[in-house]
Amino acid sequence: MTDVLTREQRSRCMAAIRSKHTSPELAVRALLRQLGFHYSLHRKTLPGKPDVVIPRERKVIFVHGCFWHMHRCHYGMVTPATNAAFWREKRRGNVERDRQRLRELRKTGWSVLVVWECWTRTPRKLASRLASFLLG
């Protein structure tokens, strides 16, 4: 199947995808505020620049897009119809880089939680997961 957009249009669309302050990330931050936690964002001094850092607890949270980080849910299993080989390698590189960054953080004493984009669709369940990670 060919792409319905021109190369230039597709390039503009892909360039517009944000890596910070996404809707799933904002949902996680709102729940953290409701739970009463203070946090910092995208700390450059930590491996992988975690989306949320709770320094007092030495805990970090990454909010991953299911497609970009190849989650095992329906959204992460989607395979692009055009330029499939490029996207497969791009996404595999993301997954490998994620593994490496998580290892580095854990090695230095940080607790890590990865929140998947699809989890943000059920806020109650996500709040429970966040609470058990942060309080348990």
**Given a cut of 70, is residue 118 above it in pLDDT?**
yes
CA 24-112-28 angle, to 5 degrees, is 20
Domain count, the chain: 1
Give the model's pLDDT for residue 7.
Answer: 77
Spatial distance between the Cα atoms of 44 and 79, rounded to a whole number of angstroms: 31
Question: Does 89 reside within a domain?
Answer: yes
Question: Does 9 reside within a domain?
Answer: no
Percent of the chain with pLDDT strictly greater than 70:
97
**Given a cut of 80, is residue 1 above it in pLDDT?**
no
Predicted structure pTM score: 0.88
**Given a cut of 80, is residue 16 above it in pLDDT?**
no
Question: Does 83 reside within a domain?
Answer: yes
Q: The domain spanning residue 116 has which CATH number? A: 3.40.960.10
**Looking at per-residue confidence, does 8 or 60 come out higher?**
60
Question: Does 104 reside within a domain?
Answer: yes
Give the model's pLDDT for residue 112.
Answer: 98
DSSP string for the chain: ---SS-HHHHHHHHHT--SSS-HHHHHHHHHHHHTT---EE--TTSTT--SEEEGGGTEEEEEE-TTTTT-SSTTTT---SSSHHHHHHHHHHHHHHHHHHHHHHHHTT-EEEEEEGGGGGSHHHHHHHHHHHHH-
Q: What is the mean pLDDT of residues 24-38?
A: 96
Question: Does 42 reside within a domain?
Answer: yes
Question: Does 113 reside within a domain?
Answer: yes
Give me the domain span that covers residue 61: 19-135
Q: What is the mean pLDDT of residues 43-63?
A: 97
Question: Does 14 reside within a domain?
Answer: no
Q: Mean pLDDT in the chain?
A: 92
Give the model's pLDDT for residue 12.
Answer: 78
Question: Does 101 reside within a domain?
Answer: yes
Give the model's pLDDT for residue 8.
Answer: 84
